[in-house]
A = this chain, B = another copy of it.
């Protein structure tokens, strides 16, 4: 394939606009912060979104009695520690307001091992106070200019009874209205949105749009989630699930604006505030090379359909189904505990090395150029999500790449079943649930991509790139113009003292 000389557009960075996290309280942890620091150094997300900002573990809503009267204090001891850490790591919070503080809740239903209360507030007035107080505190501490860049999403997946008692749509609309109103009272320039629905419930979007218009309720962005997995087949501490093709994710992204067509919400920013293959934190597919190759086209094309799509989640430090029982346990994370990179991490890290100018894009590759002339190719072996071996074991791709110099230095980085794949090494060492320090060293080593360097000739301004990809490989090929500085006397033949022929 002949890659064009001139850009065909800009590469969207919707893919790194946001990333998901386990409940925000976990941001107090060291491994979490170290993991996020690594992520920001090598990938660089702009926002981070997680549950539980107002849940009991954050200690925000604190009723007390004083002189015989019930009062409430809003405490931000942990909120501030979490947000300070985020900002210090160069990432901003995408605020999700939820779940319900136990003492403000109208019921006892909880979700997750860590028991997030999913019932409406006992008092919408007190909830509004809590929201106002939280936003006002954040502005006071971080400044309005900063906080107005943080989207505020109302609740999470209210269309599921697990997350919102009875999946009560009217109750959600009421919560949204009260919450959005409280946010805007603090400052009209703050951005509020929803309805943060799970896949398969897009009809909520239309009704959300109607409701918002009917009641004149402020909406600054629309949000939904996308997953492709089927029903869970349980094993101890894990599940297996079938997956729809990755294109189903792009379809889910695109469906939102289609649904909203004609409404006032149609032109608003669309945030896919969660996406992944499986929605389960104990599905080993997340840990595989397959997973990276499966998601590659989603990262390449997702920006065509949404303003952000947020990988759920950056780390296996995540406790919705309890404390993980083994290093590799099917967690969502791009990183395991203790920061072992998974193949999908590499997909993101490779994307982060692409240039701004889009030269070419297809089912198995993406080509970009940097301002300094480097050309970067991301290629992947297309996958079959049924797990049936799909045709040949190896995928071949030939590209004619434009480059402006006499030769190109080529750096290739790859993750596949064998390389950049610590899970394979982990299995070979006996699947140690809690690896010892020297095993962790090996896993960190095994997690690094395979790397090769070569020099290729440039002919008529082009390099012929002939790539063979292994099963489930994702590969990054970076081509840099060579400026030769070797002196005329450089002579490898004389290294061991043989006289120059004279």
Contact = CB atoms under 8 A, between A and B. Distances in A.
Interface of A: 28-33, 57-59, 62, 64-66, 71, 73, 75-81, 84-85, 137, 141, 229-230, 233, 235-238, 240-243, 284-285, 288, 290, 322-327, 337-338, 385-387, 407, 409, 411, 424-425, 427-434, 436-437, 442, 445-446, 448, 451, 453-455, 480, 482-491, 493-500
Contact of A59 (B325, B386, B409, B486): B325
Given A29-B30, A233-B499, A442 B453 contact: yes
A284 B495 contact: yes
A240 B497 contact: yes
Contacts of A30: 28-30, 32-33, 85
- Copy tally for this chain in the complex stands at 4
Nearest to A115: B115
Contact of A429 (B58, B433, B480): B480
Contacts of A483: 430, 432
A277 B425 CA distance: 38
A78 B323 contact: yes
Given A285-B495, A290-B495, A453 B425 contact: yes
Contacts of A327: 77
The 6 tightest CB contacts between A and B, nearest first, are A59-B323, A387-B496, A242-B497, A30-B30, A431-B486, A64-B236
Contacts of A77: 323-327, 337, 433-434
Contacts of A338: 81
29 contacts: A28-B30, A30-B33, A62-B237, A62-B325, A64-B237, A73-B325, A75-B326, A75-B433, A77-B327, A77-B434, A80-B434, A81-B337, A229-B497, A235-B489, A243-B496, A288-B495, A290-B495, A326-B485, A385-B496, A409-B430, A411-B442, A429-B480, A430-B482, A430-B484, A430-B486, A431-B490, A433-B485, A442-B453, A448-B448
A31 to B, nearest CB: 7
A78 B338 CA distance: 11
A433 B66 contact: no
A31 B27 CA distance: 11
A288 B493 CA distance: 13
Given A62-B325, A81-B338, 10 more contacts: A28-B31, A77-B323, A77-B434, A233-B497, A235-B491, A242-B497, A243-B497, A387-B497, A409-B428, A429-B482
Nearest to A88: B437
Contacts of A433: 75-77, 485
Main secondary structure of the interface of A (DSSP, over half): mixed
Contacts of A427: 486
Contacts of A490: 431
B486 A325 contact: no
Contacts of A386: 496, 498
Contacts of A137: 434
A496 B285 contact: yes
Contacts of A237: 62, 64, 73, 487
Contacts of A485: 326, 430-433
Contacts of A442: 409, 411, 453
A455 B446 CA distance: 14
A360 B183 CA distance: 41
